[in-house]
Amino acid sequence: MAYWLFKTEPDTFSIDTLRAQGTSCWEGVRNYQARNLMRDEVKVGDKVFIYHSSCKHVGVAGIATVSREAYPDPYQFDPESPYFDPKSDPDNPRWIMVDVSYEQHLPLISLASIKANPELSEMVLVKRSRLSIQPVTETEWQAILAMMNR
């Protein structure tokens, strides 16, 4: 099992939305590095921090589990979708997605508190925060969970 951090804008899709749906596709990833991580490394059973970004209260908001491995993102072929990609070929899709299932809400663990934690100084989120799908080490995972009790 591996650990991940998936970023989302809560006005579009939040941990509350995921709880209401139970399971949801993680569509709309349009960055090649994030796509490659989802395609090649994200597996069923992996744990995911759901991270709210581009909002007033930025941080880790909950936990999900990967419930379906990479498959073609159908929105890339839908001209009505904001994720439409006219250059993507149905025989060789450019974009993929995974499904995640809700596990639990967490008290928000803010980006500021993550950055202030010396145990997390090497975390991808701290060093290269723009990537929407990020690996998290087991040590980082445990350190963030421990922050809930501080």
SS3 label, residue 136: strand
- Per-residue pLDDT of 67-83, as tens digits, reads 999 999 999 999 999 99
Q: Is the pLDDT of residue 129 over 70?
A: no
pTM: 0.95
Distant-in-sequence, close-in-space partners of 113: CB < 8 Å, separation ≥ 6: 59, 147
Overall average pLDDT of the 110-128 stretch: 93
Give residue 46's pLDDT: 98
Domain ranges (residues) in the chain: 3-147
SS3 label, residue 19: helix
CATH homologous superfamily for 3-147?
ph1033 like domains (3.10.590.10)
Check: CB of residue 95 under 8 Å from CB of residue 83.
yes
Q: Is the pLDDT of residue 150 over 80?
A: no
